[in-house]
Amino acid sequence: MRSVRLVSLILALAAASWGQSLDRANSLWRAQDFEGANNEFKALTAANPTNADYRVRWGQLFEERFNPEEASKLFQEALAINPKHARALLGMAELGAMGFDPKAKDSAKKALEEDPKLYEAHELLARIALEDDDHKTATAEADAALALQSNAIQAIAVKAALDLLDDKESSWIGKLGTSGKGYAALASYLVINRRYEDGIAYYRKAIAAEPNLWSAHSQLGVNLMRLAREDEARKELELAYENHYRDKPTVNTLTLMDSYNRFKTFRTPTTVIKLNAKEADVLLPFVQTELDTIMATYEKKYQYKMKVPVQVEVYPDHEDFAVRTMGMPGLGALGVTFNSVVAMDSPSGRTPGSFHWASTLWHEMSHVYVINLTNERVPRWFTEGMAVHEETAIHSDWGDRLTPDVLAAIRDKKLLPVSEIDRGFIHPSFPAQVIVSYFQAGRICDYIASRWGESKLLDMIHAYAKNKPTVEVIREQLGLEPEAFDKDFLAVIEKENTTTIAGFEKWTKAVREINELAKAGKTDEVIAKGREVESLYPDYVEAGSVYSFVADACIKKGEKTCAMEELGRYSKTGGRDPETMKKYAGLLEEAGKFKEAAAALQRMNYIYPIDSELHQKRGDLLMKSGDAKGAVLEYQALVAMKPIDAAGSHYNLARAFQAAGQRDQAREEAFLALEAAPNFRPAQKLLLEVSGDSEK
């Protein structure tokens, strides 16, 4: 009996000691001694390997301190001990929600099944619904949280956000009181709905309420940076960093800002273009010309003139570009827009042929106009749909082609109702749903334009500017119930793609057979088989396209006209491989079709202009076809790339200037050619000609 009492006493003392250790860990955490808190949790879990609670609490420390990997590991360890641990399930849900993982919702619901009083799970579900533009569910989940905990600050922030997003005055803002975290949560909900100015205002309120809330300083800095307010952004980010708040957005954004000393900035009254110095001279003429064309086109189309200059930033390092999008939902994009600021990849940052920079710029600039025209009230699906629509509206061979993933979604009836399509961009339920949602949104806008006229899209933009929901806009502008619209739209999409969907398996099998025939050198069979199956899936122009197989077979047979026709179809459909397009241009040139050859290569300027061979070849073709001004642009790009043959490049540019009647510029380039190669006789002769002293 005495031994039993002794064991009980020892256990009680141990439990008391462990309780004190937990208290110490929490106290150290509150005091921002994170290393000390971490050590206490480490000791606690070592002494209590079967205690799931300690692991969950330790995981929450890692979750707060920018280490989701360790947090996830600890939550999973807790669930291995107790699969029904509600707080561990909630922790996994919170981590998933940070990355817009659709599984986060399921994990939060499981947490509520295990603990119906876990109001934080309702708060998380409210946040997820708000991100999906599902205001009804967001309201219900926030109300459920508040019924369990009247001062549930995240739920209060959701209620306030719902009012503000509906342009209503909100009594809920006052209930945030002095909670900096509450204002910061409200700010984050506004930002995720692209209300950047409003978000910035509430991050400022968060800091006013809690000056030491470094996470709010960081997010304020990130969002100021998004709107190109760099000086103030740096101040806020450095303040957070100096106070040991060093999450990825803070550190990476500061690193990005440090890299700006390698960029050049070019300004006009309506534009600001930031380019990396190593490629600025090559890209600027192309980007500036395209940007000016876009703005002139959109001002007329949208009947709207930008009130501030548009800033376009082009990043040769994709990771730098990714920093600009950090914390935003959706696909690993090629471009991103924040009100009047566009950030995008440079063509040099992508594999040649994989990125159409001009199409991307038209896409992002559509966002600039639509977002500004609606004062940030447009739903995500519609602005994305308009942007995709604009890509092919300017050139039919621009924009993304119909992918196998999209075909599968149409076949399997996975397209979302128009009233729910936003969910596909933010919390996709299958791997390709973001891509599918871009396609669907774009085709919806195409369909509206074809059935009701292009002006109807502008009418819808004006309706969204009044902050009307999609269901109401569809009814008001199109005269249909959303369900009827979905039925009509899906019927058109399915009809358009019936042949491709029905023949997809046959096409897939045929491509494999064509590949084997090509390897075996059976050119006649490749051509016959290729021509037979091209129509099954004409949109496929990626690696291993039937067009390329057939064209190569034609060339091997010496039938260049056949190859030229085949590559013409490849180009018209949207093929982008630089080597394939150069091959096509070469065939056109051999046939004496210099203008057509130059036009084929012009498509490559919109895709991969960081190519000296492209500019040399296109400049030569333009000279042959009598377009000296066009040749000047190509040879200038070539000179900017600092080719090995500097003398020859300057000489060619001098010839083009001479042909264009610009004698002074021709003389200067001839001098530069002779500086590089003093005995270069063609340059000597040209210099005499443009100086008016050539021999008779």
- Spatial separation of the C-alpha atoms in residues 277 and 43, rounded to whole Å: 52
First to last CA, the chain: 127
Q: What proportions of the chain, in percent to the nearest 5, are helix, strand and coil?
A: 70, 5, 25
φ/ψ bin of 59: left (φ > 0), alpha (ψ from -120 to 50), beta (otherwise): alpha
Q: For 94-112, what is each residue's pLDDT tens digit?
A: 999 998 888 999 999 999 9
Q: What is the pLDDT of residues 477-500, one digit of tens each?
A: 999 999 999 999 999 999 999 999
- CA R_g for the chain: 31
Amino acid identity of 349?
Answer: G
Residue that terminates a domain, selected from 96, 116, 136: 116
In a domain, 66, yes or no: yes
582 domain-assigned? no
- Alpha carbon distance 62, 98 (integer Å): 14
Q: What is the pLDDT of residues 113-125, one digit of tens each?
A: 999 999 999 999 9
Residue 230 lies in a domain: no
Mean model confidence pLDDT for the chain:
93
Averaged pLDDT, 124-140? 95
Res 326 pLDDT > 70:
no
196-250 pLDDT, tens digit each:
999 999 999 999 999 999 999 999 999 999 999 999 999 999 999 999 999 988 9
Whether 548 has a pLDDT exceeding 90, the answer reads yes
582 or 15, greater pLDDT? 582
pLDDT band per the 50, 70, 90 thresholds, residue 18? low
Task: Write down the pLDDT at residue 71.
Answer: 95
Query: Which residues form the domain of 88?
Result: 22-116
**Closest to 312 (Cα-Cα) out of 354, 367, 377:** 367
Average pLDDT value for residue range 333-351: 91
What pLDDT score does 13 carry? Answer: 42
Q: What is the pLDDT of residue 319?
A: 80
pLDDT at 66 over 70: yes
**Overall average pLDDT of the 28-44 stretch:** 91
How many distinct structural domains can be found in the chain?
2
Q: What angle do CA 102, 98, 194 make, to 5 degrees?
A: 95
Write down which residue in 93, 116, 139 finishes a domain.
116
Among 57, 88, 116, give the residue marking a domain's end: 116
pLDDT at 11: 39
The amino acid occupying position 658 is Q
Structure token digits, residue 177: 């009181």
- CATH code (residue 29): 1.25.40.10
HEC secondary structure over 301-339: HHCCCCCCCEEEEEECCHHHHHHHHCCCCCCCCCEEEEC
Q: Does a structural domain hold residue 474?
A: no
Which of the 8 DSSP states describes residue 212? T
- pTM value is 0.91
Tokens at residue 395, please? 């050139």
pLDDT score at 695: 44
- Residue 384: inside a domain: no
195 backbone dihedrals φ, ψ, rounded to 5°: -95, 70
Distance of CA 635 to the CA centre of its chain: 33
